[in-house]
Structure 1
Amino acid sequence: MSFPTQMKDNHTALLLVFMSLLISLVNIENYLLTAVDAKSNVYIIHMGKKQREDAKLLKKTHHEVLAKVLGSKEESARAMVYSYKHGFSGFAAKMTESQAQKISELPGVALVIPNELYKVQTTRSWDYLQLSSRYQTHFLQKSKLGEDVIIGLFDTGIWPESEAFSDKAGSSVADRSYNGLGVGTVRGGATQARIAMYKVCWSVFGGGLCAGADILKAFDVSVRDGVEVVSVSIAADVPSYPEADQRNAIAVGAFHAVAKGVAVVCAAGNSGPSPQTVQNTSPWILTVGASSDDRSFPTRVKLGNNWTIAGQAMFTGSDTGFIKLAYPEVSDLKYPCDCKSLTEEDTWAKKTVVLCFTTAFREGSVEESASSIRKAGALGLIVAENPTRSLYVCDDDFPCVQVSYDIGMKILYYIRSSRSPKVRISPTKTHDGRPVSTKLAYFSSRGPSYVAPGVLKPDIAAPGVNILSAVSPSDPKANSAFAFMSGTSMAAPHVSGIVALLKSLHPDWSPAAIKSAIVTTAWNTDPSGELIFAEGEPMKLADPFDFGGGIVNFNRAADPGLVYDMGTEDYLHYLCAMGYNNSAISQLREHPTSCPTKRPSVLDLNLPSITIPSLTKPTKLTRTVRNVGHANSSYKAVVKPPQGIRISVRPRLLTFNATNNTISFTVAVSSTHRVTTGYYFGSLTWTDGVHTVNSPISVRTEIPILS
């Protein structure tokens, strides 16, 4: 995990929940059975609204229902995997398909669904976010570093023996690095918060897989344990099930948790840079994309003609000295030879540094090529690719240096024009700060949401590239206590830590109010004021579908001025607006629910953003803000309309006082475009001269062809 938040052991009442608990939800034997036994599988049974609150009586009821189909209490006990008693009523059990059909026909059973699988998706990042001892702001001190706030982590687990979780090191672990790279103090963002670790994922079948039954149990137990923030570094494959579908364990579990006041923070997924790949898109979830920070790892590469370039790598071996440099030339009639085609049979590479080109980023692909070419006797690899800040982690003494395509072509020209091309690679260094710029990570999943295009996703971005993280000795790639990791699973815990700080500062704020504060106060430029670019093909200026509101900024989120708040009733209106039927919504809510006759509009959901995926005619939408700043204050609207879009706000001045802290306003939107367009972006900002409450606007004009 990349979130080394400390625990204290002087509050015994809360320690029942934390690291010593380390819930291993489904044992691995049972889990594997669900994947390999064609006759038996795990099914999740939803019982509808809880008829009683007593957890023991609920569990007894669940066993009785299961026994009716399996024939005995003993068989029921053997088959039962989980009993869900806190967030909702239901259970998970092993049974055959025919038994699942029989149990679905019993009175009191609302729904039976098969278990689903999901996938698992630091020393500088907190300085970058201005949340460290160097930035002792008033709000950071007032938050008491998240003291006693409970953060629930859903992931592959933690290694409790790690010094990142040891009170002997206080609230931080100084002078830690990955083999000398990234030296600094490893710490969390909310160092006085508590961790409740829920192991929902297992390293099986060549990767980290997580079962829906486990995820639902984690949500259920976390509500019982008093968790206030849930951090989920997990996402389904695209496309996933809609949020009203009980097979979407994250959306369903999060819905019940948020209804109990628990903030749920989820990774956006690692399927970027293609659009409409973002996951965990429910409006009650805070969805996090991944950015880089201002750290880089320059690696000096000197050619035999004395030309020196700075590549990027994590090479901690010795200076190579000048050695042979080669490129795998192929006939024009053959398929181009790129990095992934290198094998251990390429004996020509012996005692050589190999230059190769790669056209697509795929996690592990270059590392696999490096391992193969090393077995053939190669001494290093130079990879020419579309620029990305995500670095390949090859063996420590085997350099895998990344350069851009244009630099790669210059190296290739040198190889082809020299009788004896040589290269010298020096050990990698660490550089923090300027001139390194912030970028949205290539892999970070992008919007718009394919489930609900009118709901902006991701909501926010945070550092998730080359994060120095504590690792378990059981990790096959681990050769030290810390390693660099990348992914939206690294970004989400950063935001979870900030949510914990906000919970400590504002314990009465709802999850929606916290999300609003984070989205409307984010950095649209990096902390040094430079524009943020999104890695991709090609690289471009980042927009709301890349990073939502921007890069998370705690010091402004702590005092946002205004918030856009929502609760369960708002989310029910959203589900009705999405067209889900009453039965599906009732099953999710576990209470009979009927949508209004006139279908509401998704555009009126009280989000801290405005997204119109199909503007076919002039449209009006409504938002409501609550003043959480000085009681007597006035806010003026500042509109930056998207290109070709007219926007008017009424009223343009919001005046609050001690008896009136909530005001609604309308936004009228129309287009001057005469053709169907892509998305254009703008913003609506409310300001009182001290606070700036910024809502990103995304609008796509659509001119119907058929009337």
Structure 2
Amino acid sequence: MAPHSHIAVYKALYKSFGGFAADVVAAIDQAAQDGVDIINLSITPNRRPPGLATFFNPIDMALLSAVKAGIFVVQAAGNTGPSPKSVASFSPWIFSVGASTHDRVYSNSILLGNNITIAGVGLAPGTDNMYMLVSAIHALNDTAAKDMYVSECQDASKFNHTLVQGNLLICSYSIRFVLGLSTIKQASETAMNLSAAGVVFAMDPFVISYQLNPVPMRLPGIIIPSPDDSKILLQYYNSSLEKDETTRKIVKFGAVACILGGIKPNFSLSAPKVMYYSARGPDPEDNSVDNADILKPNLVAPGNSIWAAWSSRGAESIEFQGENFAMMSGTSMAAPHIAGLAALIKQKFPTFTPAAIGSALSTTASQHNKYGGPILAQRAYANPDSNQSPATPFDMGSGFVNATAALDPGLILDTSYNNYMAFLCGINGSAPVLLNYTGESCGVSTMNGADLNMPSITISKLNQSRKVQRMLTNIAGNETYIVGWGAPNGVSVKVTPKRFFVASGQQQILNVFLNATMNSTTPSFGRIGLVGNNGHVVNIPLSVIVKISCHSTNS
């Protein structure tokens, strides 16, 4: 993302164990001492922090100190979606990133001899012709008869080489693959050792709604992720068997198929869309029912099926052992995209504060997919593409990152460490906690999250009416802006001024008046848009959760 940038790596976690917050805090402190400009954390806590507020946890407070030192902090939002309030990155000084798709897809499929085509996955070559299908359970040698897992094709010695050679071997993809007890890599090696023409994995019916990433295979192969499609394959296979009427032994394998291959990508997907696993807002303020007046996630970036450099000696993924590149998915893949773009912004604007970098990324984000329609969010783990609807700010924050626009934002909304401290001091009972973490005493503060000069406005409880201000700073040339807005359902909105001129380097206050027009506990969303005559467009999402209106009756 940022060519020629210097990368510092700090080890704080360990395979199959994770780590302790103290180790992560030590890594953050060391990075700050080393003078880094950006910290990326593709990690989240494994539970919501207990105590006064979610913000008061060792990692977030260490990151606040990093922000005080001028470091822009990026964190993965978490992979606990799509439930509301599942976000695992909490604080306003942290830039929280959700995961979206991109339009690149590796489409693999298998054409059966009855002219039915079944879709699947697998970074594998195709076959050059039709080959006979042979199920693993029908290709056993005598020693394998009692092995209940033999259909997973993990041991070549269990099979009759003559039956498999030159044919397509059908293996079962069971829950043991999900648990890592069996692997695609080992099954592929089994097929190669048996001189198979290729390997086909049929999904076990007990593996329901498991989402598969494309997996590299050295020989022609495909994984059929749908149990229903796998059933179609096996029905065709079984109906094509010829058996001896007396012994019921198979005398002929009649089913044939051609694997079409999945190495070449195509770019046909409608993208971006928010992935089902990407954690969602609203931002929990504590362990009770309270929500914070902070928008989370901040935005989304590509996080699904992401290629990246990989150590050939890495043991974290068996399927990619020995490879120099790996494909992975998650908000941990999305966050580094933003860290790299932040480095480019910092390079162009070296005096930008962390908040200014976050503002440039947020106000320029896109709310539309590549075809001009709304960005969609997947709403269910099972069949996610059949359960989706337009994304809200609690799904995607300000939207999908726009790298080009972020380098020329026009206006920015800046805030400082002192403002974050005032916000924290405004939380009832926070003074001793803050003194313990920062060594600083709290004065009197009534600031809450909505008062922070953030590139978004989130109000967890709108009791009748509220006025919010935002300070805009022009980092471009002289420009005139026109202001428009769309109000959240159940809220009337007025923004002043509706039109303003701001000179280069100067500031403009935006006043936002919100009034509840109905009683509701359902979140609703709107947006403020500023369009400049030099082409700059600034978007500020509005989110209101609880609305309480006042109805009076004249006697």
TM-score range, shorter chain: 0.7 to 0.9
Q: CA deviation at 1:247?
A: 7.5
| In structure 1, C-alpha distance between the alignment counterparts of 2:68 and 2:271, rounded to whole Å | 39
Residues 370 and 394 in structure 1, CA contact (< 8 A), matched pair in contact too: no
| In structure 2, C-alpha distance between the alignment counterparts of 1:573 and 1:624, rounded to whole Å | 17
- Which amino acid counterpart does residue 575 of structure 1 have in structure 2? L
| Match 1:663 to one of 508, 524, 531 | 508
Alpha-carbon displacement from aligned partner over 1:403-430 (angstroms, at most 9, x marks no partner): 5677567657767877776654343132
Task: Note if 1:380 corresponds to 2:227.
Answer: no
Residues 102 and 269 in structure 2, CA contact (< 8 A), matched pair in contact too: no
- Which amino acid counterpart does residue 500 of structure 2 have in structure 1? L
- Which amino acid counterpart does residue 649 of structure 1 have in structure 2? V
Q: Determine the structure 2 residue equivalent to 1:272.
A: 81
Q: CA deviation at 1:608?
A: 0.6
Mark the CA change 1:554 to 1:624 in structure 2 (over 3 Å): closer, same or farther: same
Q: More displaced, 477-486 or 378-387?
A: 378-387
| Match 2:303 to one of 440, 457, 464 | 464
Mark the CA change 1:602 to 1:577 in structure 2 (over 3 Å): closer, same or farther: farther
Residues 291 and 464 in structure 1, CA contact (< 8 A), matched pair in contact too: yes
| In structure 2, C-alpha distance between the alignment counterparts of 1:524 and 1:679, rounded to whole Å | 18
Mark the CA change 1:703 to 1:409 in structure 2 (over 3 Å): closer, same or farther: farther
Residues 294 and 437 in structure 1, CA contact (< 8 A), matched pair in contact too: yes
> Could you say what secondary structure the match of 1:278 adopts?
coil
| In structure 2, C-alpha distance between the alignment counterparts of 1:565 and 1:532, rounded to whole Å | 27
Q: Determine the structure 2 residue equivalent to 1:646.
A: 492
| Match 1:353 to one of 170, 187, 203 | 170
Q: More displaced, 382-391 or 552-561?
A: 382-391
| In structure 1, C-alpha distance between the alignment counterparts of 2:546 and 2:6, rounded to whole Å | 47
Q: Determine the structure 2 residue equivalent to 1:58.
A: none
Q: Determine the structure 2 residue equivalent to 1:688.
A: 532
Residues 438 and 526 in structure 1, CA contact (< 8 A), matched pair in contact too: yes
> Could you say what secondary structure the match of 2:85 adopts?
coil
| In structure 1, C-alpha distance between the alignment counterparts of 2:364 and 2:309, rounded to whole Å | 30
> Could you say what secondary structure the match of 1:509 adopts?
coil
- Which amino acid counterpart does residue 545 of structure 2 have in structure 1? R
Counting only pairs closer than 5 Å after superposition, residues 62-461 of structure 1 correspond to structure 2 as: 189-203=1-15, 206-207=16-17, 209-241=18-50, 248-316=57-125, 321-324=131-134, 345-347=148-150, 353=170, 365=178, 368=181, 374=187, 379-383=199-203, 391=213, 393=215, 396-397=218-219, 399=221, 401-403=223-225, 423-435=257-269, 437-451=271-285, 452-461=291-300
| In structure 1, C-alpha distance between the alignment counterparts of 2:440 and 2:376, rounded to whole Å | 46
| In structure 2, C-alpha distance between the alignment counterparts of 1:348 and 1:482, rounded to whole Å | 29
- Which amino acid counterpart does residue 600 of structure 1 have in structure 2? M
Task: Note if 1:520 corresponds to 2:363.
Answer: yes
Q: CA deviation at 1:495?
A: 0.7
Mark the CA change 1:290 to 1:654 in structure 2 (over 3 Å): closer, same or farther: same
> Could you say what secondary structure the match of 1:475 adopts?
coil
RMSD over aligned CA atoms reads: 3.5
- Which amino acid counterpart does residue 429 of structure 1 have in structure 2? I
Mark the CA change 1:545 to 1:412 in structure 2 (over 3 Å): closer, same or farther: farther
Q: CA deviation at 1:347?
A: 4.6
Residues 684 and 695 in structure 1, CA contact (< 8 A), matched pair in contact too: yes
In structure 2, runs of 5+ residues without a counterpart are 138-145, 154-163, 192-198, 242-253, 286-290, 381-386, 550-555
Residues 649 and 666 in structure 1, CA contact (< 8 A), matched pair in contact too: yes
In structure 1, runs of 5+ residues without a counterpart are 1-188, 328-342
Q: Determine the structure 1 residue equivalent to 2:344.
A: 501
Mark the CA change 1:487 to 1:382 in structure 2 (over 3 Å): closer, same or farther: same
Q: Number of matched residues?
A: 489
Mark the CA change 1:681 to 1:386 in structure 2 (over 3 Å): closer, same or farther: farther
Q: CA deviation at 1:586?
A: 2.1
Q: CA deviation at 1:490?
A: 1.4
| In structure 2, C-alpha distance between the alignment counterparts of 1:396 and 1:579, rounded to whole Å | 60
Task: Note if 1:595 corresponds to 2:444.
Answer: yes
> Could you say what secondary structure the match of 1:235 adopts?
coil
| In structure 2, C-alpha distance between the alignment counterparts of 1:212 and 1:696, rounded to whole Å | 33
| In structure 2, C-alpha distance between the alignment counterparts of 1:636 and 1:418, rounded to whole Å | 70
Residues 268 and 279 in structure 1, CA contact (< 8 A), matched pair in contact too: yes
Task: Note if 1:549 corresponds to 2:398.
Answer: yes
Alpha-carbon displacement from aligned partner over 1:583-620 (angstroms, at most 9, x marks no partner): 11222332222333xx3332222111122233342222
> Could you say what secondary structure the match of 2:500 adopts?
strand
| In structure 2, C-alpha distance between the alignment counterparts of 1:439 and 1:253, rounded to whole Å | 32
Q: More displaced, 273-282 or 308-317?
A: 308-317
Residues 353 and 423 in structure 1, CA contact (< 8 A), matched pair in contact too: no
* % identical equivalent positions: 32
- Which amino acid counterpart does residue 520 of structure 1 have in structure 2? T
Mark the CA change 1:485 to 1:648 in structure 2 (over 3 Å): closer, same or farther: same
| In structure 1, C-alpha distance between the alignment counterparts of 2:489 and 2:53, rounded to whole Å | 35
| In structure 1, C-alpha distance between the alignment counterparts of 2:338 and 2:225, rounded to whole Å | 31
| In structure 2, C-alpha distance between the alignment counterparts of 1:386 and 1:462, rounded to whole Å | 28
Residues 212 and 247 in structure 1, CA contact (< 8 A), matched pair in contact too: no
| In structure 1, C-alpha distance between the alignment counterparts of 2:379 and 2:210, rounded to whole Å | 8
- Which amino acid counterpart does residue 482 of structure 2 have in structure 1? K
Q: Determine the structure 1 residue equivalent to 2:374.
A: 531
Residues 377 and 395 in structure 2, CA contact (< 8 A), matched pair in contact too: yes
Mark the CA change 1:353 to 1:242 in structure 2 (over 3 Å): closer, same or farther: farther
Residues 110 and 260 in structure 2, CA contact (< 8 A), matched pair in contact too: yes
> Could you say what secondary structure the match of 1:624 adopts?
strand
Task: Note if 1:576 corresponds to 2:425.
Answer: yes
Alpha-carbon displacement from aligned partner over 1:567-593 (angstroms, at most 9, x marks no partner): 012101221344352111222332222
Residues 121 and 213 in structure 2, CA contact (< 8 A), matched pair in contact too: yes
State TM-score, norm by structure 2.
0.78
| In structure 1, C-alpha distance between the alignment counterparts of 2:509 and 2:35, rounded to whole Å | 34
| In structure 1, C-alpha distance between the alignment counterparts of 2:457 and 2:524, rounded to whole Å | 12
Residues 621 and 667 in structure 1, CA contact (< 8 A), matched pair in contact too: yes
